[in-house]
Structure 1
């Protein structure tokens, strides 16, 4: 049975300034947690595997411990990036990204590289692709071959643009609880092929750690790096006001305009928010 992963606030003996509130440290020697309550002096956040019915977890434990090691000492704005780097080390994938998902738009928090960022931009602009399907269905989406067959037919425009960007397979895991998806963990490869059963289990451990980390940080009111992607929501509001329409058609207008001009929706939103592009024919 796969162990559940918890993120708890912990205290460390003899803590120094680097163990300050809001930092991530892995559970291990010198970290004691009893009944969910930490002991000792300095606060931090511990990422620790948790078992049900006495299961040892084996390889899953090792994956969770390695992920915890990657999060050692990370500040809130560093966590998504470190999780991406951990995923590229733990899994046979080319790239990784972590995104929040709100109002039909993936808001990227981190990406392992330009290709992963580009894949997210494509899906944000199209409003279609594996990340949208995973977020809306709350299910893992495994697109083993975007070059042909059912995966290419499922999202034809996305598949074409993804393969043009050098992506041949995509695997997306929803983040959150069974009934609520708060984001996605997006993995991709530059060659088609399935993600093996053991690798999929590791990816699910990583997704649980990511979800737990996001939950803790949101509770602490920690700032998240939205960057220009946060402007997509602002731009949607601007178009709503300019055209007197609701959010869904306003977002559709933005996506259609971005697609027609072969630009990312993030760049278009930036121009709209600053008043350089209008949708009501004025200016």
Structure 2
């Protein structure tokens, strides 16, 4: 089944999108949402006698990081792959292609990693890329304790699952970016407030103009090898004032 057509596929659980959307709304933190998604994925594809573990790999530049996992064991399996620097899940994310390893014992592409998986009791692996466009590269990593766990029907179900989840993940990543940007802006404004108050104190104590007070503050920062805000905060505290707060009332 072509990856681009999977968004319209009929996943067996018609409430899947509603469930994932609810997770996104309930979890205020992107990592918490992805951990819940990983746990949900691990429980969504049962196989007789097999344990399914799930992780979500996010690529940031040249580095990979597990941003979510269904369990501590799943996290460890992903980190083993990162230690080798390659494997089915990293390939799925980097090359944006489905990577299936039906029998780890017969896999020749990643021999050292395959041996490590066998020692961990893992006998089949599946890596499915998320559809994130320009927002990033990521993959759902599924591990099974039995070989040939992910047959054709399961492969189609997992791809449909990931296609649906991709929508929520893109929304979550964008929201997280906006939250981080807002936090950075707030921190910058609070830092500016502290610096402005310190400059005012220097102006009063030295009876100098603002530009000269700023140069005094900057020279102190340079001589102490400290950040400008840290020196400014020390000046404010030196006159018995608490750390200043910035008000954001409209």
Secondary structure at 1:176's aligned position in 2? coil
Tell me if structure 2 keeps the 8 A contact 1:138–1:180: no
Q: Tell me which residue corresponds to 2:27.
A: 74
Q: Tell me which residue corresponds to 2:74.
A: 116
CA distance in 1, matches of 2:60, 2:95: 14
Tell me if structure 1 keeps the 8 A contact 2:20–2:168: no
TM superposition score normalised by structure 2: 0.60
The answer to which structure has the higher strand fraction is: 1
TM superposition score normalised by structure 1: 0.53
From the superposition, tell whether residues 67 and 91 of structure 1 become closer, same or farther in structure 2 (CA, over 3 Å). farther
Deviations 1:114-141 (A, max 9, x none): 2211111111111111012212321010
Tell me if structure 2 keeps the 8 A contact 1:147–1:160: yes
Which runs of no fewer than 5 residues in structure 2 stay unpaired?
A: 181-250
Is 1:191 aligned to 2:146, yes or no? Answer: yes
Alignment map for 1:46-125 (pairs within 5 Å): 51=8, 57=10, 59=12, 61-68=14-21, 70-71=23-24, 73-76=26-29, 77-92=31-46, 94-125=52-83
Which runs of no fewer than 5 residues in structure 1 stay unpaired?
A: 5-50, 224-283
From the superposition, tell whether residues 99 and 64 of structure 1 become closer, same or farther in structure 2 (CA, over 3 Å). same
Tell me if structure 2 keeps the 8 A contact 1:71–1:82: no
From the superposition, tell whether residues 191 and 128 of structure 1 become closer, same or farther in structure 2 (CA, over 3 Å). same
Deviations 1:41-68 (A, max 9, x none): xxxxxxxxxx5xxx8x362534434444
CA distance in 1, matches of 2:11, 2:42: 21
CA RMSD between the two structures: 2.6
CA distance in 1, matches of 2:128, 2:150: 12
The answer to which structure has the higher helix fraction is: 2
Deviations 1:93-128 (A, max 9, x none): 520011211233321111111221111111111111
Alignment map for 1:1-283 (pairs within 5 Å): 4=7, 51=8, 57=10, 59=12, 61-68=14-21, 70-71=23-24, 73-76=26-29, 77-92=31-46, 94-148=52-106, 151=107, 153-177=108-132, 182-220=137-175, 221=177, 222=179
Q: How many residues align?
A: 170
